Amino acid sequence: MALRLNLGAGPNSRAGYVNVDKYGSPDVVCDLERFPWPWEDGAVEEVLMSHVLEHLGQTSEVFIGVMKELYRICRHGARIHIRVPHPRHDFFLADPTHVRAILPATLELFSRRRNLEWAAQGVPNTPLALYHGVDFEIESSSFVLDEPYRSQLKAAKLTQQEASALIERYNNVASEIQLVLKVVKA
């Protein structure tokens, strides 16, 4: 039976998941920056990482190790649900334990398909999927708007295009990024 993991669960245990954290009293105590993780290859069908990934991998070596372990333990087609604070929001900037900004473009570097497209186009992005033998596709990506932008969008006083432009230009527009990665294995 495939596993469902709630990595970095903290006090937010989820029923039906193996709750994992370095601290407290989770189902499994595990430092996610130490490898290998205690799960078998291809054993995991779903992973939740809510406000966790930005705390991992102060060095690129450790961050890439986290991505490689996620790939190793997940089966083909597994989904990884990621929520992180937007790096241009005070929620991200104020917390000294946040060591890495995570954007959709960050995780796109771990897509084999995108790496090959960039190589064919001569784009100089780092082909991390090819370098490290992993393959994740971004299945969905969205931003959670902070107020007053969320209410303005809901009331049609702001378009999605205008909101996107504001997110790129200003701090404290988007509070969170939500992504779903799909694991691709041959």
Please tell me the distance from the alpha carbon of residue 10 to that of residue 165, in angstroms, as a whole number: 34
> What residue spans define the domains of the chain?
3-145+176-183
Using the predicted structure, report yes or no on whether residue 2 has a pLDDT greater than 80: no
The sign of the dihedral angle between the CA atoms of 146, 150, 151, 156 is positive
DSSP state of 54: G
Provide the pLDDT for residue 186.
Answer: 82
Residue with tokens 């929620």: 91
Using the predicted structure, report yes or no on whether residue 79 has a pLDDT greater than 90: yes
Cis check for the bond before 36: say yes or no (omega within 30 of 0). Answer: yes
> What's the mean pLDDT when you consider all of the chain?
97
Assigned CATH class of 3-145+176-183: alpha beta
Token pair for 49:
């990482």
Q: Please tell me the pTM assigned to this model.
A: 0.95
Q: Give the pLDDT confidence of 80-124 residue by residue, as tens digits.
A: 999 999 999 999 999 999 999 999 999 999 999 999 999 999 999
Provide the pLDDT for residue 78.
Answer: 98
